Amino acid sequence: MSKIKEDVMEKISSGQVKMRSRNFFVLMKALLEISLVALVAFVIFIFNLTFYLPRRMMGAGFGSSRFTLLLESLPWTHLVFGLLGLGLVIWILYRYTGLYKKHFILIVSILSFGILLISYIVSVSNLNERLEERRGLRGLYRQQNWDTEGHQRRGPGFQLK
Amino acid sequence: MPLLDEELAVLVQGGNKEAFEEIVGRYEKQLYHFALRLCRKKDLAEDIVQDSFLRAYQNIQSFDARKKFSSWIFRIVHNRAMDILRKEKKYLDIDIEDLPEIEDSKRLSEEIAKELDGLAVKQKMRTALEQVPVKYREVIILRYFHEMEYEEISDILKIPKNTVGTFLSRGKAALRETLSGKLTKEDI
């Protein structure tokens, strides 16, 4: 018997290395799927906000060009978190599913388009108006519109000088 | 008729340790050569293979018997070797003499043999292969030394099949370039 085989079988026979149960893997798979669904929901919600908040601000904007207003009102933090979340979704799908067999650019395009489309649809529904009234989520909408001294900002993003 | 690897894996899932011993016997050499060509150190290659077999045993319940067992176990060795290569850049300082002769391995395929036909450069080729970036080298090793199909390489490295082809072309180009610089008139 070779050294590798001998060492491996010795560790297995002596019980130093034990087989993990099937339930462990079932549980891990379930956790991964739940996390993935939650992450996708989070990304959709965040992108929904990046559509919704500027639109609300721009509706109230005067004086500036629409482009300037868009830049000022764009929730950059949301956008960055949304993109990071989207990257994580793609990474998980590539790492843990058979998606790596497909063309990378195509998959990224389809996933991004799908998520953005759903986010846009959510943003034009009345979901945000309803969520905005909820105590736990109110800050997420309000913090974008008010500065620390209580003055209303023009938009949720940074101010262009 | 001997059992298929996948059938043995199912027996191991049922608690049969002898079946796992049979698996170790079947894969030990090829996994060792694969690991050795990646990490270039005998001791390290042995550790990688031993550790990979132990991980395979621990996680055998996650193996889906409808898939190829060889892809699954090569994937484990690949992951382990990459972890080590990332951590230990020092292993890139190679010990060429540790490497087995190419002629002792499962052979270069006809394709690459044709491309390099007439060149008595086994030693130089062995050295040249070590200079090919690891991601291309790994594809060359799996394709020509272990005679795997694109599909299986794709499953082991978790990259699309067309990327396997791209890596292979780039690897061969790098190999040719390195070899052409190393060849002397005496070799040709």
Contact (CB<8Å) B160/A101: yes
Closest approach of B85 to chain A, Cα-based (Å): 19
Residue A112 is predicted with a pLDDT of 92
User: Of the candidates A48, A57, A100, which has an alpha carbon nearest to the alpha carbon of residue A79?
Assistant: A48
Kindly report, residue by residue over B170-188, the tens digit of the pLDDT.
Answer: 999 888 888 776 555 444 4
Q: In this structure, are residues B17 and A2 in contact, taking their beta carbons and an 8 Å threshold?
A: no
Considering only CB atoms, A8 lies closest to which of B13, B54, B161, namely: B54
User: Of the candidates B115, B118, B125, which has an alpha carbon nearest to the alpha carbon of residue B169?
Assistant: B115
Contact (CB<8Å) B54/A9: no
Contact (CB<8Å) A17/B32: no
Q: How far apart are CA B164 and CA B112, in angstroms?
A: 16
DSSP-assigned letters across all residues of A37-97? HHHHHHHHHHHHHHHHHHHHHHHT--SS-HHHHHHHH--HHHHHHHHHHHHHHHHHHHHHS
Contact (CB<8Å) A11/B54: yes
Mean pLDDT for the stretch of residues B115-135? 70
Q: How far apart are CA A51 and CA B113, in angstroms?
A: 58
Residue A152, strand partner residues:
A146
pLDDT above 90 (res B139) = yes
Average pLDDT, chain A: 80
- Residues of B whose CB is below 8 A from A7: 50
Residue B180 is predicted with a pLDDT of 74
Closest approach of B115 to chain A, Cα-based (Å): 29
Q: What is the largest CA-CA distance in chain B?
A: 60
Nearest CA in chain B to A97: B158
Kindly report, residue by residue over B40-53, the tens digit of the pLDDT.
Answer: 888 899 999 999 99
**Spans of chain A below 70 pLDDT:** 1, 57-67, 69-70, 72-73, 138-140, 142-161
DSSP-assigned letters across all residues of B44-101? HHHHHHHHHHHHHHHTGGG--TTS-HHHHHHHHHHHHHHHHHHH-GGGGS--GGGSPP
| pTM of structure | 0.74
| B79 vs A: CB within 8 A | no
Closest approach of A31 to chain B, Cα-based (Å): 15
Instruction: Return the higher-pLDDT residue of A145 and B63.
Output: B63
List the structure tokens of B44: 């390290």
